[in-house]
Chain A
Amino acid sequence: MSDKKRLLIYLGLTFSISFAWFFIANPDRSTWEGMGNMRQSFVALGMMFPVIGNVLTRVITREGFKFRGEDNSYFGISFKDKKWFYYIAACLIPWIVYEAANAITLALAPSMFDSEYYLSLDIEKRMLVLFPVYAIVTGLVVSFAAFGEEGGWRGYMMPKLMKIMNRPAALIIGGIIWGLWHAPLTCIGHNFGTDYPGFPYVGIVKMCVFCTLLGIILTFVTEMSGSVWPAAFMHAIFNSSPSILQGFINSDKAPDTFLGRNAGFVGMVLALLTVDIIIMVKWRKIEKEGK
Chain B
Amino acid sequence: MGGLLYKDFISIRGKRLVTGFSVLTLLMIIIKLIVASVGTPSGLMVENDEGEVFSFLEYLISVPAQMMPIILLCFISNWVPNVLKNDEKSKIHSFLSAMPVSKSTYIAEKYVFIGICIYICFSLSMVWNIISMAFLPDGFVLDLLMLYSSIFIELFSLAFIGATIEFPVFVAFGKEKGQMIKTAILEVIACCVTAYLFFGDLSVFEKVDIGEIMEWAQTHSFALMFMAALSPLITLALYYISYCISVRIYERKERDYE
User: CB distance B126 to A144 under 8 Å?
Assistant: yes
- List, in ascending order, chain B residues with CB within 8 A of A137's CB: 228-230, 232-233
Quick one: which of B36, B126, B131, B133 contacts A27, CB cutoff 8 A? B36
Nearest-neighbor residue (CB-CB) of A41 within chain B: B130
For A39, list chain B residues within 8 Å (CB): 134-135
Task: Check A124–B221 contact: CB distance below 8 A.
Answer: yes
Contact B225 A140 (CB under 8 A): no
Is B156 part of the contact surface with A, judged by Cβ < 8 Å? yes
Task: Decide yes or no whether B33 CB sits under 8 A from chain A.
Answer: yes
Listed residue (A39, A138, A140, A141) with the most chain B CB atoms within 10 angstroms of its CB: A141
Complexed CA–CA distance, A24 and B153 (Å):
30
Asked if B226 is at the interface of the complex by the 8 Å CB criterion, the answer is yes
Chain A interface residue bracket vs B: 20 to 34
CB interface residues, A 100-131, toward B, < 8 Å? 124, 126-127, 130
Instruction: Give the CA-CA distance A67 to B135 in the complex, in Å.
Output: 39
**B232 contacts which chain A residues (CB < 8 A)?**
137, 140-141
B78 close to A (CB within 8 Å): no
Contact with A along B113-148 (1 / 0, CB 8 A): 000000100110011001101111000001000000
Min C-beta distance of B98 to chain A, whole Å: 23
Interface secondary structure of A, over-half rule = helix
Q: How distant is the Cα of A174 from the Cα of B187 in the complex, in angstroms?
A: 58
Residues of A within 8 A of B122 (CB): 141
Is A187 located at the chain interface by the 8 A CB criterion?
Answer: no
Q: Is A38 a contact of B126 with CB atoms below 8 Å?
A: no
* Distance between Cα atoms of A158 and B34 in the complex (Å): 37
In angstroms, Cα B188 to Cα A210, docked, is 58
Interface size for B (C-beta < 8 A) is 27
Enumerate chain B residues within 8 angstroms of A41, measured Cβ to Cβ.
Answer: 130, 133-134
Chain B minimum-CB-distance residue to A126: B222
Question: Does B203 lie at the interface of the complex (its beta carbon under 8 Å from any beta carbon of A)?
Answer: no
Query: Do A133 and B153 contact each other (CB < 8 Å), given the known contacts A41-B133, A67-B2, A126-B222?
Result: no
The one of A76, A127, A130, A141 in contact with B153, judged by C-beta atoms closer than 8 angstroms, is A141
Asked whether A133 lies within 8 Å of B133 as measured between CB atoms, the reply is no
Q: Which B residues are in CB contact (< 8 Å) with A140?
A: 232
B97 CB-CB contact with A under 8 Å: no
* A164 on interface, CB distance cutoff 8 Å: no
Cβ-defined contact, B123 with A144, below 8 A: yes
Q: Do residues A24 and B33 form an inter-chain contact, with CB atoms below 8 A?
A: yes
B19 in the interface (beta carbon within 8 A)? no
Q: With A27-B37, A141-B156, A144-B123 known to touch, is A45 a contact of B131 (CB < 8 Å)?
A: yes
B221 and A127 contact, CB distance less than 8 A? yes
Q: Which of B119, B127, B225, B233 contacts A45, CB < 8 Å? A: B127
B37 touches A142 (CB 8 A): no
| CB-based contact A38/B133 at 8 Å | yes
Residues on A with C-beta less than 8 A from B233 are 137
Annotate B27-60 by CB proximity to A: 1 below 8 A, 0 otherwise: 0000001001100000000000000000000000
Residue contact A130 to B130, C-beta cutoff 8 Å: no
CA A108 – CA B123 in complex, angstroms? 40
Chain B neighbourhood of A76, CB < 8 A: 2
C-alpha gap A134/B153 in the complex (Å) = 12
CB distance from A164 to the nearest CB of B (A): 29
A127 engages B225 (CB within 8 Å): yes
Which residue on B lies nearest to A140, using beta carbons? B232
Q: Is the CB of B134 within 8 A of A130?
A: no
* Complex interface: chain B residues within 8 A of A144 (CB): 119, 123, 126-127
**Could you say which of B122, B126, B130, B153 has the most chain A C-beta atoms within 10 Å of its C-beta?**
B130
Evaluate contact between B127 and A134: CB separation under 8 angstroms.
no
Check if B134 sits within 8 Å of A133, measured CB to CB: no
Q: Does A85 interact with chain B (Cβ within 8 Å)?
A: no
- Contacts A27-B36, A76-B2, A144-B126: A134 and B228 contacting too (C-beta < 8 A)? yes
Q: Are B134 and A42 closer than 8 Å at their CB atoms?
A: yes
- In the complex formed, the residue of B with least CB distance to A125 is B222
Query: For residues 195 through 249 of chain B, which have their beta carbon under 8 Å from a beta carbon of chain A?
Result: 221-222, 225-226, 228-230, 232-233
Residues of A within 8 A of B (CB): 24-25, 27, 38-39, 41-42, 45, 48, 67, 76, 124, 126-127, 130, 133-134, 137-138, 140-142, 144
4 A-B pairs with the lowest CB-CB distances in the bound complex, closest first: A42-B134, A144-B123, A134-B229, A38-B133
Question: Which residues of B are in contact with A by a Cβ distance under 8 Å?
Answer: 2, 33, 36-37, 119, 122-123, 126-127, 130-131, 133-136, 142, 153, 156, 221-222, 225-226, 228-230, 232-233
Known: A27-B37, A38-B135, A130-B222; 18 extra A-B contacts, CB below 8 A, are A25-B134, A27-B36, A38-B130, A39-B134, A41-B130, A45-B130, A48-B127, A124-B222, A127-B222, A134-B229, A137-B228, A137-B230, A137-B232, A137-B233, A138-B228, A140-B232, A141-B122, A142-B126
List 23 A–B pairs whose Cβ atoms lie within 8 Å, in order of A's numbering: A27-B37, A38-B135, A38-B136, A39-B134, A39-B135, A41-B133, A41-B134, A42-B131, A45-B130, A45-B131, A48-B127, A124-B221, A126-B222, A127-B221, A130-B225, A130-B229, A137-B228, A137-B229, A138-B153, A141-B122, A141-B156, A142-B126, A144-B127
